[in-house]
Chain A
Amino acid sequence: MTRKPPERRPWRDVESDVDDELSFHLEMRARDARERGLDDETARREAERRFGNIDRISREVRAIDSQVVLGQRRRSMWSDLQQDVAYAVRGLRRTPGFAVVALLTLAIGIGANTAIFSVIDAALLRPLPFADSPRVVFLWNRTPEGLPTPLGPGRMMDFRAQAMSFSGFAGISHLSYTLTGAGDPETIPGASVSSTFFDVLGVKPLLGDTFHGGRADPNAVVLGYGLWARRFGADPTIVGKAITLNRRARTVVAVMPQQFFWPFITATPNADGGPDLFVPGGPGDIPRTAIDEDRDVRDNRNAGYIRVVARLRPGVTRHQANAEVQGVGARLSREHPEDGGRTAMLVGAREQFFGTIERPLFVLAGAVVFVLAVACANVASLLLARGAARRRDLALRRALGATRLRVARQLLTEALVLSLAGAAAGALFAWWATGALLRLAPGDVTALGVTLNWRVLLYTMSVALLAGIAFGLAPALQCSRGDLTAALSEESGRTSGSRRSGRLRDWLVACQIAVAVLLVAGASLLVRSFVSLTRVDTGIDTHNLLTFAIHLTGRKAEYQSEQVRFYAALQDRLAALPGVEAAGSAVTLPIGGDDFGTDYLVEGKPTPEPGHEANGGYQVVMPGYFAAMGIPIREGRDVSASDAHNGLPVALINETLARQQWPGQSALGRRLRISVNEPWLTIVGVVADIRHLGPAVPPRPEIYQPASQRSFPFMAFVVRTTGDPDAMVPSIRHAVAELDPTLAIAEVKTMDDHIAHALARPKFVSTLVTGFGALALMLAVIGIYGVMAWSVAQQRREIAIRMALGAERSSVLALVLRKAGWLATGGIAAGLILMPLATHPLRAMLFGVTTADPVSIGIAAASLALVTVLAAFVPAARAARVHPASLVRS
């Protein structure tokens, strides 16, 4: 050997090489000097003098050589990588079947993760479109039960003046506007906001200028992008023009950009749908009330209709601010008993919009991680089988000088090439799947728009790399082990090495089965929960029931008698329409409509502490409402036209209220009132319970007052039709226009639509998890089949011998199926053990089933047992057909 290869211990080589070279020079020079007659010592010194500074020169030369070696190493690493990748690609192209199955498996696993992550990114990770959005908070009253409720005007003003934690503070109320002028009248959902509103959010308009603190023309209006584009043809010169809202001219001062995001602010998190226009508040910069826009409400502390958005002052944490508003809220309630003993609470902006989506999204994220785990197990198993088939090849490479590390690295590179290719295919799959996902998803999930952005792609890449390592590591370690003699001398492949990788594959299959059991059980739970939701008796006959809302304007809106006269007239006209069985009206619709809650006091019972009043739902109905809704009157009578405005104040209650207050007795003739300032209401009827808040929420106490004694300028109508309810819409519009051509009908939907909307989210989640469960099952089948087929192939010889010795086919079949049975038993048992852990996060999402639901667990175990047997059957049948003669031939 003349020169050592540069890779081995390069630094020491550089040093000793340089030393050798330089000292040789010195010795030669000294030798020449001796030959000229100098003595040893003088000759040596002469040589050193001529040479110069030995230290400096040797350092300089070493530095040059080190640079060279470093460059060589870098180049060789890079070329090794290139080699490994080329080798992997070549290997995959040689076995296209394996490559396609592995790629598809990974594309599905990674793609599902990417799709779900893109939704999570949109709802939970992407910054909200407000300036410094984490500092935007919402202020709510907090009831003694810990529930958020809106503020009254007086209380809002007190908070605005007294809370020091905020640099900006704005009230919001929701009200509807009827837009008249060009085109049909249309009801537009709107919001009345304090003049500071847009500055608190830090948002800029697309056109014009919004309101600012303390200066807002009371007749101004800011349009949302959607309304501007739809109704005004995206007129770029609209700023400064007047439009007619609720029969009053308002000047458009600004148009918000398309990406301005502002949903309705409700006590339960909401991100779906929002106001299309904004008007400034009334006197005191207080948001206007829906009942009377122009009323001065500064002295009012009762009406709780104001939502508050605020911006934290710089340096104040949300925790500090929350502590402060709690204190201020408690103090205000002590000073004002009519505030009802409430304190206050802050809710962060993201929680306000997406608070209830978090859990379902994390459940979906968990489900796709499970799917990916099953996919990885499949690919790992495929790689192990492939490694076993390539044992000779790999052992040969080792014998030819490749280190184990080098071989393992090569195999790992192959896995990573696979996973990255899988990620690319997965991203394409996700791109398609996200579209499908969005069509399926409820509006609030997609409120901010879902895109495949760099964060999502980064996530995909990381998932792919992790997955590649996860499924590549075991095969790489396992298969790089091979020693040549064993590999070359093996005849039938039944050596310890292949047996070891066979055992590893058995483990993988058992794990797959366990994970699939968990996914199928989760899916069953969610589906069963959804089915029980759809089967809930809401108390309403939803069949052929059309609903819509009317918002009165002008004179009709101002006087209660006018309101009621109009409602009665419209109801009569509707009922008289051909194809209509019955019509009724109520101020709020159950399920998906608005909701009025109220406290109430019962005559003859002690007045409770402030904040501890009994409360329930509050409804105002016209005669015929219960009949039209299919709600039976259990006792007493319906409200009637003869319940005059100045007559005896009456009410109907539901069975739950009757049972709670007068158990075992008749409630008829008893009296209750909704506050100490209100008159006593005599109960004249008891109606059946309904689930006003949706199928998942049990009935609560309800109080129904006749509209003739208390009414609002808006009303929801229900129309029971004999045929398709949607077909009735034109004649209903016509009936309304005949009565008043300036009125619009809004929110035209069937009751079934409302229920579907209420169930959209559980439907979305259960559909997706079921899909993921099916995917996992399918992947598990592939995995089980692969392992069983392989193990049969390994045992051909043994089986042939058994057959030659007279074994029955059935016993061979049993031999193979027994192994499948063991795998299934182990996997299912592991799944059942892990079940409580995995289904725990579902608890809060389930309705009508518990996580211990034996049916769901049974379905999961049985389905896996079944697919295992099915997947094992083909290989088992093949084994049973093994001919003893094949032994001789092979």
Chain B
Amino acid sequence: MTDRTSVDLLQGTLAALILKALSWGPLHGYGIARWIEHATADELLVEEGSLYPALHRLEARGLITSEWTRSDTNRRVRSYTLTAEGRAQLKAELSRWDRFSAAVTRAFDTRKARTT
């Protein structure tokens, strides 16, 4: 194991990250993994495989769709696209995250201890 700080990745957060990754355009699973790796400086995705159950669940919920395409090496590649519903869901997640993180930040910024 690496000595990196591991962060517990909540299911919901992973889903939100996938939706965010796909908001730039269709990607296959590996592409999404790479995007998350870059975007979070390799902090979040500890077990890359866990991406796939999350992807398939999102598809079952209709937030993303998939289709099989051919890669440049002529391999079958499953490529995911955000649906309109998925886009709406992403928006909702983002605003919720903003409120949540603002609240948490505010709480952590209060240096003086409260007594009640």
Q: Which residues of A contact B (CB under 8 A)?
A: 2-3, 17-18, 20-22, 24-25, 28-29, 50-54, 57, 60-61, 64-65, 67-68
B77 near A52 (CB under 8 angstroms)? no
Q: Does B57 contact A (CB under 8 A)?
A: yes
Please determine whether B52 and A21 come into contact, CB atoms closer than 8 angstroms: yes
Can you list 5 residue pairs at the A/B interface with Cβ under 8 Å?
A20-B78, A24-B29, A29-B33, A52-B46, A60-B53
> Which of B15-23, B67-75, B108-116 makes up part of the contact surface?
B67-75
Q: Is the CB of B30 within 8 A of A28?
A: yes
Name B's A-contacting residues (CB within 8 A): 28-30, 33, 46-50, 52-53, 56-57, 59-60, 67-69, 71, 75-78
Whole-angstrom distance between the Cβ of B34 and the nearest chain A Cβ: 8
Docked CA distance A22–B52 (Å): 8
Whole-angstrom distance between the Cβ of B16 and the nearest chain A Cβ? 19
A67 to B60, CA, bound (A): 9
Whether the Cβ atoms of A25 and B53 lie closer than 8 Å is no
In Å, the complex CA distance between A496 and B75 comes to 51
Given contacts A24-B30, A25-B48, 17 further A-B pairs with CB under 8 A are A3-B67, A20-B76, A21-B78, A22-B49, A22-B52, A25-B30, A25-B33, A25-B52, A51-B49, A52-B48, A57-B50, A61-B52, A61-B53, A61-B56, A64-B57, A65-B56, A67-B60
Identify the closest chain B residue to A1 (Cβ): B68
On whether the beta carbons of A29 and B48 are closer than 8 Å, the reply is yes
- In Å, the complex CA distance between A24 and B71 comes to 10
Which 8 pairs, one residue from A and one from B, show the smallest C-beta to C-beta distance? A52-B47, A57-B49, A52-B49, A28-B30, A64-B56, A51-B49, A60-B53, A25-B30
CB nearest neighbor in A for B29: A25
CA distance A64 to B47 in the complex (A): 19
Residues of A within 8 A of B75 (CB): 20, 24
Residues of B within 8 A of A24 (CB): 28-30, 71, 75-78
Given the complex, which residues of B lie within 8 Å of A28, measured CB to CB?
Answer: 30
Of B46, B50, B67, most buried by chain A (CB within 10 Å of CB) is B50
Cβ-neighbour of B48 out of A2, A21, A51 (below 8 A): A51
For A17, list chain B residues within 8 Å (CB).
Answer: 68, 78
B19 to chain A, nearest CB (A): 17
B-side contacts of A29, CB under 8 Å: 30, 33, 48
Tell me the smallest distance from the CB of B2 to a CB of chain A, in Å: 10
User: A25 contacts which chain B residues (CB < 8 A)?
Assistant: 29-30, 33, 48, 52
Q: Return the chain A residue nearest B37 by Cβ.
A: A50
Give bound CA distance, A28 to B30, whole Å: 7
Please tell me which one of the listed residues B59, B60, B67 contacts residue A2 in the complex, with CB atoms under 8 A apart.
B67
Contact indicator A54/B67 (Cβ below 8 Å): no
In the bound complex, residues from chain A placing their C-beta under 8 Å from that of B67 are 2-3
Asked whether B60 lies within 8 Å of A68 as measured between CB atoms, the reply is: yes
Query: Contacts A24-B30, A24-B75, A24-B77: A64 and B53 contacting too (C-beta < 8 A)?
Result: yes
Closest B residue to A52 using CB positions:
B47
The answer to whether B49 and A54 touch across the interface, beta carbons within 8 angstroms, is yes
CB distance from A61 to the nearest CB of B (A): 5
Q: How far is the CA of A20 from the CA of B49 in the complex (A)?
A: 14
Question: In angstroms, how far is the closest chain B Cβ from the Cβ of A19?
Answer: 10
Give which listed residue, A2, A51, A57, contacts B53 with CB less than 8 A.
A57
> With a CB–CB cut-off of 8 A, which chain A residues contact B48?
25, 29, 50-52
Closest Cβ neighbor of B70 among chain A residues: A2
* Least CB separation from B57: chain A residue: A64
A24 to B67: give the CA distance in the assembly, Å: 15
Is there an interface contact between A57 and B52, defined as CB atoms closer than 8 Å? yes
Give the CA-CA distance A61 to B49 in the complex, in Å: 10
**Contact between A64 and B60, CB atoms less than 8 A apart:** yes
**Chain A residues whose C-beta falls within 8 Å of the C-beta of B68 in the assembled complex:** 2-3, 17
Give A43 Cβ to nearest chain B Cβ, in Å. Answer: 14
> Do the beta carbons of A52 and B50 come within 8 Å of each other?
yes
A24 to B55, CA, bound (A): 15
In the assembled complex, which residues on chain A have CB atoms less than 8 Å from the CB atom of B76? Answer: 20, 24
A3 contact set on B, CB distance < 8 A: 67-68
Chain A residues with CB under 8 Å of B52's CB are 18, 21-22, 25, 57, 60-61
Closest A-chain residue to B69, C-beta based?
A2
**In whole angstroms, how far apart are the Cα atoms of A60 and B67 in the complex?**
20
**Looking across the interface, which residue of chain B has its beta carbon closest to that of A68?**
B60
CA distance A2 to B68 in the complex (A): 6
**Closest residue of chain A to B31, judged by CB?**
A28
Quote the shortest CB–CB distance from B28 to chain A (angstroms).
Answer: 7
